[in-house]
Amino acid sequence: MRRHLFMIAPMVLVAALLGCFAELDWRELRSAAGGFSVLFPARPLEASRPVAGAVEAVMHQWSCKAAGSVWAVAYLDLTESARRAPAQAVIRLRDALLANIDGRVLAERALRLEDAAGVETRARGRSAGAEVELNVRILARGRRLYQLAVLGAPGAAGEEGLRTFFDSFRLLATPP
């Protein structure tokens, strides 16, 4: 009987330790061209696409799916006319994201990170017939806008996951 306990005890310990590890596999993404670093909860994929409407520019984006949510970081360089009013560009981009989900703002606050300023917004809306929650930070720094967003079922990403993702974002150097 004692011998069985010695064999079972390590297995129980391993199972308990494995249960303590989060579902998310955090890894750093560093973009020299974007001038930032951030932790992603899974391996992100990179894409670039033109953005029209709220802000005319090419958006460079990294995103992944984890914990029932889409996690994304993007940057874009503002046009000459938009650079004169970066705070307005931040609000236009936020409004475009809210319109995508027919979202209503639950909470919002002004945000500063080093020499960048912007807004943090939590909203609820609908996508593909399901209720979704959007957590987004948009920052303007010089001619560049940065967007960090998590979109998924309400509460799916978890407060700890959101905090890890958003608080890991660092500006590396002044953008070109």
Tokens describing residue 144: 């560049």
How many Å apart are CA 162 and CA 71, to the nearest integer? 9
* pTM (two decimals): 0.82
- Selected from 3.40.50.720, 3.30.420.40, 3.40.1000.10, 3.80.30.20, the CATH number assigned to the domain covering 24-171 reads 3.40.1000.10
Give the list of residues 6+ apart from residue 154 with CB closer than 8 angstroms, or none. 124, 131, 132, 133
pLDDT tens, position by position, 88-100? 999 999 999 999 9
- pLDDT at residue 64 in the model: 98
Residue 53: band (very low, low, confident or very high) from pLDDT cuts 50, 70, 90: low
In this predicted structure, the answer to whether residue 25 has a pLDDT above a threshold of 70 is: yes
Average pLDDT over residues 134-140: 97
Can you read off the two tokens belonging to residue 12?
């129980």
14 exposure class (CB count in 10 Å sphere: 0-12, 13-18, 19+): exposed
* Strand 27-31 to 36-40 pairing: antiparallel
Instruction: Give the pLDDT score at 173.
Output: 77
What residues form DSSP beta bridges with 162?
Answer: none
The answer to whether the CB of 174 falls within 8 A of the CB of 142 is yes
pLDDT > 90? residue 82 = no
Task: Please state the domain extents for the chain.
Answer: 24-171
What's residue 116's pLDDT?
A: 95
* Arithmetic mean of pLDDT, 23-32: 91
Q: How far apart are the C-alpha atoms of 46 and 51, rounded to whole Å?
A: 16
The two three-digit tokens of residue 95, written as one number: 């409004």
